[in-house]
Amino acid sequence: MSTTYERDAERVAQLVGYGVLEEPPRRDLVALVEVAALVAGVPMATINLITATEQHQVATVGFDASVCRREDSMCDLTLAAGHPVVVPDARTDPRFHDNPFVTGVIGQVRFYASHPLVTPDGIAIGTLCVFDEEPRSLDQSQERALAGLADRVVDLLELELRTRRLHASIAALRRTHHELARSNEDLAAFAGRLSHDLRNPLGAVSMSLRLLDHQIDEGAGPDQLHWLTERAASGVRRMEAMIEDLLVYARLGGELRREDVDLAALLAEVQEDLADALAGAVVSVGPLPTVTGDPVQLAAVLQNLLANAAKFTRDGRPARIEVGADRTADGWRVLVVDHGPGIPEQDRERVFEPMVRAHTRIPGQGIGLATVRRVVQAHGGRAGLEETPGGGATAWVELPG
């Protein structure tokens, strides 16, 4: 059996969903209480919704709506009874004769009738109440009509709730449609770039195999044949590297493991892994925060940013890289600064797309920054590029926490 606390919690949750407690009186609900007053032949009627502590008159006729304490409410008894309550003269009813709505403290109710408002989930959220300052009674047809009107009150609340949910679903579907259209456009562009980039090593493999076949027919020696097989193998390795990068990109940014991640310790591990790529580079590291995220995927972010910074140098000079972090209103902004050739402003957004490179002379598949953004967005953050003062590129990622 549900406790009073559980019933109150269920009722309040239902009322919050209906969204009528803090809103101006709805015209459709006011129209229903006007009909209720006419049916009962009384001057006053109201829809009372009851929370854990208060009674809210959300639509009234014949008097101004107000909010009162639940213990002062006459309709609270109807919720407890679970059935309609009709009182010809409240002064003579022991349940109500001391109630402030009867004694004159709040009102001078004599005739009182209320019908519970029960949701489709079986939760009584309040009442449809009619009353008068003069004693009177209702016949059976009036009571049936008031019961029907109480059901219509709930129907209107449900209709408005379902309408809001429908609008929200339609808005979500529109967002999904737009996102799907954008995703399809990105996929088409991605497929085009992938086809183009795979065609080059595939062409090298194909040419090498044709030359190999020709050289065999010509009786070429082992050295010539070895050169051609090595050339074909090199093309295969390039395609393998490209496909592996694509698989890594597809895996990262999916399901996350959430834990505290010390970015300083993580960066130290990444620097060890990139010892060859960072050979000769000067890396300066400032204080880095602890954030909440997936350590494996955040390591991929730091690895890609650091490896990129090491590749982009000027005139063959050693790479100079600074790593640091700034506090933001919502978390942290981590910066990886290089002093290389930089990235033109018009390309700074484009290079976050898969298979896009700003500098084709520098080796790579154009997957690194796309991976960075994918992972950071999965963490609820953002990633971008700015110009380094004095020249170069500053990559930044913003992470919540």
d(CA 73, CA 60) in angstroms, rounded, equals 15
Tens-digit pLDDT profile for residues 51-97 = 999 999 999 999 999 999 999 999 998 888 889 999 999 999 999 99
- Domain holding 303, by residue range, is 259-400
pLDDT (0 to 100) of residue 184: 63
Q: Hey, what are 19's tokens?
A: 């969204």
Of the candidates 301, 202, 294, the one whose C-alpha atom is nearest the C-alpha of residue 243 is 202
pLDDT tens-digit series, residues 117-144: 999 999 999 999 999 999 999 999 999 9
Domains in the chain, number: 3
Q: Give a yes or no: residue 174 inside a domain.
A: no
Q: CA angle 148-153-155, nearest 5°?
A: 90
Q: Does 234 share its domain with 269?
A: no
pLDDT value, residue 364:
47
| pLDDT of res. 182 | 64
Residue 1 has pLDDT above 50, yes or no: no
Any idea what the CATH number is for the domain that residue 48 is in? 3.30.450.40
Backbone angles phi, psi at 194, to 5 degrees: -65, -45
Among the candidates 251, 276, 296, a domain finishes at 251
Residue closest to 234 by CA, chosen among 201, 206, 210: 201
Percent of the chain with pLDDT over 70: 83
**pLDDT value at residue 361:** 52
Same domain, 110 and 128: yes
Over 60: is that where the pLDDT of 249 sits? Answer: no
Which residues 6+ apart lie within 8 Å of 100 measured at CB? 72, 106, 107
Residue 196: pLDDT band by 50, 70, 90 thresholds? very low
Among 132, 166, 200, the domain boundary falls at 166
Assigned domain for 147 exists: yes
Same domain, 20 and 144: yes
State which of 133, 166, 199 marks the end of a domain: 166
Q: Which residues pair with residue 114 across a beta bridge?
A: 85, 129
Q: What pLDDT digit, counting tens, does each position of 143-171 carry?
A: 999 999 999 999 999 999 999 999 989 98
pLDDT tens per residue across span 259-304: 899 999 999 988 887 887 788 889 999 999 999 988 878 888 898 8
Q: pTM score, two decimals?
A: 0.53
Q: Are residues 247 and 268 in the same domain?
A: no
- Contacts of 135 by beta carbon, 8 Å cutoff, 6+ apart: 88, 89, 110, 111
| Per-residue pLDDT reduced to its tens digit, 90-119 | 999 999 999 999 999 999 999 999 999 999
- Band (pLDDT 50/70/90 cuts) for residue 179 is low
Distances (CA, A) of 49 to 14, 77, 116, 131, 384: 11, 13, 10, 16, 51
